[in-house]
Chains A and B, each alone.
Chain A
Amino acid sequence: MSAMRAWFVRLGGLFGKERRDRELAEELESHLQFHIEDNLRAGMTPVEARRQALIKLGGVEQTKENYRDHHGFPWLESLLQDIRFGLRTLRKNPGFVIVAVLTLALGIGANSTIFSWINSTVFNPIPGVKHANEYAVLSTHAERDQTTISYRDYVDLRDRNQTFSTILAADPTPLSIKTKDKPERAWGLWVSENYFDALGVRPILGRGFLPSEDTQPGGALVAVISYHFWQTNFGGEQSVLGQTIEINRHPFEIVGVAPREFVGTQTGLSYDLWIPVKMIGALYGESLNPLEKRDENWFVCTGRLRPGVTVAQAQADLNVLMRQIVAQFPDDHRGDFTVTVSPLWRAPFGANFQLHTILFLLLAISGVVLLLACANVANLLLVRSFSRAHEMAIRLSLGATRWRLVRQSLVESLILSSFGGGIAMLFTLWTAGTLGTFVPPTAEVPLSITVRADRTVFVATFIVSVFTAIIFGILPALRSSRQQPARVLQEGTRRASGSTRKARLSSALVVAQFAMSLLLLVCAGLFIRSARMAEQFNPGFNPHHVLLYEYIFAGLAYDERSGNEFDRRLFDKLQEIGGAESATLSDFVPLSYQVQTQLIQAEGYVPQAHESMNLTFANVGPDFLRTLQIPLVAGREFTASDNGDSRFVAIVNTAFANRYWPHMDAVGKQIRTKWHSFTVVGVAENIDYDTLGQRSDPFVYLPLFQQFSGNGAILVRVPGDPLAAATAVQDAVHSIDADLPLFNLSTLDSRIALRTATQRIAGVFVGGLGVVALLLASIGIYGVLAYTTRQRTQEIGVRMALGAQPRSVLLLVLSQGLKLAILGLAVGLLVSLVLTRALSTVLFGVSPADPLTFVAVVGVLVAAVLLACWIPARRASRVDPMVALRYE
């Protein structure tokens, strides 16, 4: 306590220094007088008495200094002095300060922006859940790359594992919700009853789910709604609890409202409500109920690791269990059921799946930009230190320690980087939110990427600013404090001392700048090319000029028969839309993140022991292939007469045909699902169904008119702007059923835009950084050249007086700059060729060593160098020898 008190008193001691010094002087004076009197009394002569007293007291100045050390904090006082002095000297150089601060702001801002994105997606994958880093996602490889887990398997894994304190299961689903009059579409999550408890999320109103709601199918139907849903549909009324909403025509009681920030367990996706899994049967009918089936892999499982358990241990534990389960139920587990446990930040589901690699790459790239900015500012400081050599020499010869001078320089650096960091922080408040704008607005998946610059971002920016100051400040500080005062002062106004060594350091920095900006420009070029390639990529169908509109039957009075009837009538109406080239219906839109799978047997094909026959399929209307312009390889496409009254038919893709019926004619073969047999009538070319550039999976088209589907998409190909046909489509739908809600009016193009969002983020961001890098490097070489030319003014003057032509002077200066630039470019090329290999996984359709990019970048850089060198070179060639020599 007393130490604390003393500290505060000392803090106060920073002020009122003069009064205290006077008091101490008086006190010491009175002390002396007492002593002298005593000495006199002891019989000394007055002179001797005073002498002895002074000896005993010791040095008065030392005592004062010693005393001052206890008053206030001497280091803080001199630090404040340094800051005041730093601010004063900086104010004298506004041009330098503006350039340096803006350069740093750009470098730091790029990093803090990317960091804010990483912070919100990777570090806080589930907003509203504390300790999100203790959670991990389970996935198997059963069907396609990563997949979900069946409910029975989930229960076994949850109850028998040793490594998770709890595991929850969730399955996203579109729902039709009727709160007042018209039904609307909303996104819900089927969840295990332990969902909210497992996450430690407490509803702000009401409750989560009860254990009984997981064990008793057929009980009361309950739901927890999101804060947003509560606000928009119930105006935030407390009375919402106990109210009933209709979900897919079934009355549900609202028992809770989730906290505002909690929107679900998949990063980047937000849901409107949560329903216990046991109620699936009530909504979809028991025949579709997946809860008792081990071969219906529906659920995304997320678990909380026990303290001290690693992801690898958990994975090993679950795989032991999974092998037992697979051995026990081999028929339900075809395919690879190895469990992968992933930390949330690289979960195979949600936005992180797409974002985490690219964001870390972007962070690395903006790190290089910051280094580049540091090199630039360091060079500015070096140039400045030449002109301050005199000042430093004088301070050294007056007894300042070298450490004190270094500290003074570092304090100035800190001031610069604090301003830079401050601007960067303001900048980040705005740029943090831009991540969401790269993702096209779509309601097709409940995307919501919200990024806020929070305290973590603020602290990180501050720390980065401090380190930045040290990185760019330390070399110039050490350099400028290493003066030989005598030499500097003797040489007086010429100030040439050590300038060759300093120029060498500057030159090294310029070479580094060029190497780094080449690297950045190459990255920028590669990402821009990659984004363009992704946009122009041919997915196997023609996505342009196609309107997309969706509808859903759930929640309306449609059953299989009337639904089929509606689809048929709608198809006919769509054909009448003026100007449309073709129109169709489908429950599948390519590249929409959603494909359905079911068990499909191919005639005559015997699956391998563990080969999964869970294949992707879609129910499509007549003219689907024609509307999307998917080439037909053999046979025919579906027609309106492929309906419930005719025999069941199917179209397979070429991958299907080649894999199950190699060297055979697929048309005429049979395939079987759980319910029906189908005769193959056509073979279609492969397209990209789920992921861009990946089209080797077998795929089956079934006629929509034979296979009722609860939801559908309307696809209309028009010659011009697809959205212009929207009203015609609405009219067509509403002439049949005025109440049927339509969702997600968009174009097929925008679906692909969503797929290429990461490419565009990288293209725009890195492209922007590339321009910044080019600018910084050009300014750097210009600065160094301009400075060294000015230093050589007399030399050039002498040369010209001796008969050198302006042209040769021009070449002299130009070659000096070009030498540095070429060295930098050579280093940069080598580094880039090695480092860009890391980009190969995120680039789309471009090789990391793309020659076109490299050539273009080198060309741009050389042009920039010539321009930057031209100005000082020209100035040098116009030196008037008389003026230059007289200057001396």
Chain B
Amino acid sequence: MANDKSDVWQGTLALMVLKTLEAMGELHGYGIARRIEQTSGDLLSVNYGTLYPALLKLEQEGYISSEWGVSDNNRKAKFYKLTRAGRKQLEKEAREWEQTTAILARFLAPGEVSR
């Protein structure tokens, strides 16, 4: 079953985390992972083992900040939220990503390259 799902590509996890936090505001690690999986229509499987180092890296780079808090069902959890720098970084990365996909799309368009 797990084989049907793609693993999250290296490098794109950070972008997804930032986008998720932009959409959801404050969220804890588990929530971020679930949200990414749901948004992908359960096509993606987030390796939780890689999520936390990725969160740490984003925090060290100053794109997100964290705080201990209490969840809806009264459970203690660490909540992450986007910083101002993170918002800028998200815009930048999103733009770059769009560019990349646009270029790729042009390459893959029939008749353009195969000549």
Contact = CB atoms under 8 A, between A and B. Distances in A.
B56 interface: yes
Given A35-B30, A63-B48, A30 B53 contact: no
Contact of B78 (A30, A37, A57, A70): A30
Contacts of A71: 56
A38 B34 contact: yes
Contact of B75 (A9, A30, A59, A63): A30
B49 A31 contact: no
A28 B78 CA distance: 10
Given A33-B75, A34-B31, A57 B48 contact: yes
Contacts of B52: 24, 27-28, 63, 66-67
Contact of A27 (B71, B78, B85): B78
B50 interface: yes
Contacts of A66: 49-50, 52-53
A359 B51 CA distance: 62
Nearest to B78: A27
A2 B31 contact: no
Contact of A6 (B60, B73, B76): B60
A23 B52 CA distance: 12
B63 A2 contact: yes
A604 interface: no
A58 B31 CA distance: 17
Nearest to A62: B49
B75 A34 contact: yes
Interface size class of B (residues with CB under 8 A): 20 to 34
Contacts of B103: none
Given A30-B77, A34-B75, A70 B30 contact: no
Contact of B56 (A57, A58, A59, A70): A70
Contact of B28 (A30, A63, A67, A70): A30
Nearest to B34: A38
The winner among B29, B34, B53, B75 for most chain A CB atoms within 10 A is: B53
Interface in B38-60: 47-50, 52-53, 56-57, 60
B53 A2 contact: no
Interface string A1-39: 011011001100000000000011011101101110110
A859 to B, nearest CB: 69
Contacts of B48: 31, 56-58, 63
A67 B75 contact: no
Interface residues of A, number: 29
Contacts of A26: 76, 78
A58 B50 CA distance: 10
A247 to B, nearest CB: 69
B69 to A, nearest CB: 11
B40 to A, nearest CB: 16
Given A6-B57, A30-B77, A70-B57, A63 B62 contact: no
B98 interface: no
A2 B28 contact: no
A6 B14 CA distance: 15
A56 B89 CA distance: 30
B61 interface: yes
Contacts of A70: 53, 56-57, 60
Contacts of B47: 58
A869 to B, nearest CB: 62
Interface string A81-118: 00000000000000000000000000000000000000
A11 to B, nearest CB: 11
Contacts of A739: none
A67 B77 contact: no
B97 to A, nearest CB: 18
A26 B69 CA distance: 12
A69 interface: yes
A388 B97 CA distance: 57
A57 B60 CA distance: 23
B84 to A, nearest CB: 13
A200 B112 CA distance: 62
B61 A5 contact: yes
Contacts of A59: 49
B77 A34 contact: yes
A56 B76 CA distance: 21
A6 B61 CA distance: 5
B53 A69 contact: yes
Contacts of A24: 52
A67 B61 contact: no
B53 A67 contact: yes
A30 B79 CA distance: 11
Contacts of A33: 75
A209 B78 CA distance: 75
Contacts of B31: 34
Contacts of B89: 2
A5 to B, nearest CB: 5
Contact of A9 (B60, B63, B76, B85): B60
Nearest to A35: B30
A888 B34 CA distance: 69
The winner among A23, A34, A58 for most chain B CB atoms within 10 A is: A34
B85 to A, nearest CB: 7
A59 B30 CA distance: 16
Nearest to B89: A2
Contacts of A3: 61
A30 B53 CA distance: 16
Contact of A63 (B49, B61, B77): B49
B30 A5 contact: no
Nearest to B66: A27
Contact of A31 (B29, B60, B85): B29
A6 B62 CA distance: 8
Contact of A2 (B30, B50, B62): B62
The winner among B30, B34, B61 for most chain A CB atoms within 10 A is: B30
Contacts of B73: 37
Nearest to A8: B60
A710 B88 CA distance: 84
Interface in A497-515: none
A57 B77 CA distance: 16
Contacts of B34: 38
The winner among A5, A26, A31 for most chain B CB atoms within 10 A is: A31
B70 to A, nearest CB: 10
A39 to B, nearest CB: 12
A432 B85 CA distance: 54
Interface string B76-95: 11100000010001000000
A26 B61 CA distance: 23
B75 to A, nearest CB: 6
A31 B62 contact: no
Contacts of A63: 48-49, 52-53
A152 B78 CA distance: 87
Contacts of A5: 60-62
A70 B77 CA distance: 21
Contacts of B71: 34
Nearest to A4: B61
Contacts of B76: 26, 30
A30 B32 CA distance: 13
Contacts of A37: 73
A759 B34 CA distance: 83
Given A30-B78, A38-B34, A58 B49 contact: yes
Interface string A176-188: 0000000000000
B53 A10 contact: no
21 contacts: A2-B85, A5-B60, A5-B61, A6-B61, A9-B60, A26-B76, A26-B78, A30-B75, A31-B28, A31-B29, A34-B28, A37-B73, A38-B34, A56-B48, A58-B49, A63-B52, A66-B50, A67-B56, A70-B53, A70-B60, A71-B56
Interface of B: 28-31, 34, 47-50, 52-53, 56-57, 60-63, 71, 73, 75-78, 85, 89
Give 3 closest A-B pairs by Cβ, nearest first: A58-B49, A34-B30, A2-B61
Given A58-B47, A63-B52, A70-B56, 6 more contacts: A27-B52, A34-B28, A38-B34, A66-B52, A67-B52, A69-B53
